[in-house]
Structure 1
Amino acid sequence: MPEVVEIVGRRGGTATFAQLRALVSARAIRTALVGGQIRRVAKGVYALPQAPAALVAARSQGGVVSHLSAAQHWGFGVIDPPLRPHVTIPPDRARRRAGLPCTLHWGDVPALDDVTTPTRTVLDCLRILPMREGLAIADSALRRGVDRDELLAAAERLRGPHRRRIQRTVALADGRAESVLESAFRALLIEAGIDGFVPQVAVRSDGFSARLDLGHLGLRLGLEADSFEHHGTRPALVKDCRRQVNLTLLGWRILRFSWEDIMYDGEWVVDAVRRAVGLPSPTNSVLRAA
């Protein structure tokens, strides 16, 4: 029934029986259900077939989209997408057996249209994620317009587990970071105690202009986090070669690391950067071939 589908659509893709019944007949609801225009996702809760999975799961449990699922909703950078939607329900509420599968959390949380607010989303993610993944979300949240002062104040008001770690990560967040890979790289350096690298350092001279993912101005050392999607074509190769030559002529040393290096071989990455900045290596490592 078009009117039923329209009503559910205006609700973001889900609606309760009571919300529908206030506007259409029970017969119209049953007809839409039998015809496949809507589906039952919990007792008294219906959804369009194409409705966002996280929102459907949240409403089937009587909660709100939260944590990594909320981060995806707000367009924040997520390194590892969740296998199941994350949902937060009130502290005194039990899991609904008839609700859809999800990763449940309990708490009183601020929300907009049944999704935790952007600021709360960042803090929730930082509580459950390691620094690499958490910093990627915090960086991208600032990049997408979350107010830094508001985020810092919210972190300061936090109580509960990992409070100090969350506050430290928020303080380190930087909206200049342009990708989750770059944020993950910076997290590696921070955890290793390697200081002095700044996101998106601009290098300009006589018509040449380039930005380095991470740059140490004092050492003229640049670090690049390269993913194949941005460097996997012939024109990209030509551009990269010329850029590398120009940076070298301007006195910059550039170390380039792949997604696989940063995500799966962080110990080697950190050791390479330590050598480049002149810090002692904690291990007797050797140069490694691909």
Structure 2
Amino acid sequence: MKFLLILSTVLILTACVPRSQYATLVTERDYYRQEALTADSIAAARALTASDSTQREAATQRRQIRQIEELTATNINLEKTLRELRGTYEDLLQQNSLLLSGTESEVSRLQEDLRARSAELSRAEAEAERRARELAAREQQVSSLTLANPSRGTSPVDPLKDAVLLTDRLYDEVHQLMLAAANDGYLLVRQTENTLQLSLSDSLLFEADQRISLEGQRLVQRLAATLRNYPRAEYRLVGHAESKEGNTELAYEESFRRAMRVATVLTTFGIDGGRILPAGVGFYGSEISDLPGGGSPDRRTDLIISFPAT
């Protein structure tokens, strides 16, 4: 538009101007034409550049959108896979728990069966051993009998002396056993010629809840192994308990439970239950004032072993 305006002006002026002025006007016309072309080229270049920039931005946005969509799809797949893995892991945990519980139950059942069979075998062996010793002792007595003077009616076998000898031997064996098994908490005394008393503190035998501890079971097992060699022996188990607010009945029940628990373990390890008499005296009958090592005499169990002199 500007070019046409200039051209019209030049034509008008050429109609009434000399040649020199016309030439000047033509030169100006060419100059302005060139300027117009240059301006148009710059505008076109700017427009092209703006268009390219817009296209590049649009392409970048489309590429970013595709990346976001791909990442979103990947995230969804990962979440699905994670849920499946968690489900599989929980199933495996449940199966493992069931397997372990079943295995533990089976192992516990087998261990209990093994303990029962071992106890039964120990009792059978102890009974057979006791019968064999009784038979040997009777055969020895019969073979040692000689014809005595009928007027005196005496025999070379003295039952009391025999009982005293057995008591002496058992005292030495129990004394050595306790020296090896415990530093203190017990007292071994000889009540009579044919009677021993082994007082065991509560700490040697029982847990805090009054169940026999593992150490207590081992100690009673070692005692039973020694006592099985004396089939003529008879036993009294006497439990003691401290006063609980002066309640005689509770103290008696607790002391009797202690005696019964020790008696049960003795029979488990082969001592004839018919030769054991358990009893409880509550907080009465504490003849001893103290136990070595500071054990309370009111929380003890007495094992009284005697050999009948008959």
Tell me the TM-score range normalised by the shorter chain.
under 0.3
Higher relative contact order (CA 8 A, sep 6+): 2
Q: Structure 1 or 2: larger strand share?
A: 1
TM-score, normalised to structure 1, is: 0.19
TM-score, normalised to structure 2, is: 0.18
Q: Structure 1 or 2: larger helix share?
A: 2
Larger radius of gyration: 2
